[in-house]
Amino acid sequence: MTYEFTIIVPVYNEQECLPQLFVQLKEYLSRASKKTKVLLVDDGSSDASPSMIREFCSKNEDFKYLIFEKNFGKGAALKAAFDHTDTPFLGYLDADLQTYPEDFEKLLPFLGDYDLVTGWRKERKDTIVKRISSKVGNGVRNVFTRDYMHDTGCPLKIIKTAYAKNIPMFKGLQRFLPAMVLLQNGRIKEVEIPHYPRLAGKSKYNFRNRFMGPLLDCFAYVWMKKSYINYKVADKDE
């Protein structure tokens, strides 16, 4: 059976989370509504994550990996995964398991009518600082992008691969996926999903990189929006 759906998982120093991540992904693949495979992208981890990923993938044929030579950032990890995806649909999941693979089933039914479906973590299970900084970051992005998403940064999304491959690479890419699909005249939708507390490892974010970085990225997005090339071929001579 041909794969229909690829789950992309960026990984950066998540050795404590990986064993449970592997368990949950395998369990989900066994009952997923679409034939699914997983692409793990290690973003230059300095812990045991790369070796754990290699070992696990060598024993599980539905799992593949990309290992970066150094840390390039989550945007680069996602772009590389988009470029290496060969299924009609792709999804994105963080390795920290604050969202669960099984919740892709809440998003998949909407792919007939929409080109990107994203989760909305309405009831956040984060620290107060993380919740405030995320709320401020979302507000700032909405001013620039006007995608009117409640939770642009939610790490559980499904995108039609054709749209994902047309998204240009830039730092902070993960914060603008809905807006970049809108630039292609695509349709987007939010769906409420559960959110879970981090059980292991450490968050890589703080107020500075949740607010200052995204603010600077917004100016890059404004430039890109004005310069973005979008076309569709009506006919061609073979």
DSSP-assigned beta bridge partners for residue 5 = 36, 89
pTM of the full predicted structure? 0.79
The reported pLDDT for the residue numbered 198 is: 62
Q: What is the pLDDT of residues 30-60, one digit of tens each?
A: 999 999 999 999 999 999 999 999 999 999 9
75's enclosing H/E stretch is helix 74-83
Question: Roughly how many angstroms between the first and final C-alpha of the chain, as a whole number?
Answer: 31
The reported pLDDT for the residue numbered 177 is: 87
pLDDT range class, residue 122, cuts 50, 70, 90: confident
The reported pLDDT for the residue numbered 132 is: 53
CA 91-93-94 angle, to 5 degrees, is 155
Domains in the chain (CATH in brackets) are: 5-227 (3.90.550.10)
Ranking 6-10, 73-77, 115-119 by mean pLDDT, the lowest is 73-77
Angstrom distance (rounded) from CA 44 to CA 42: 6
For residue 196, CA distances in Å to 96, 122, 126, 190 come to: 10, 11, 8, 18
DSSP-assigned beta bridge partners for residue 156 = 93
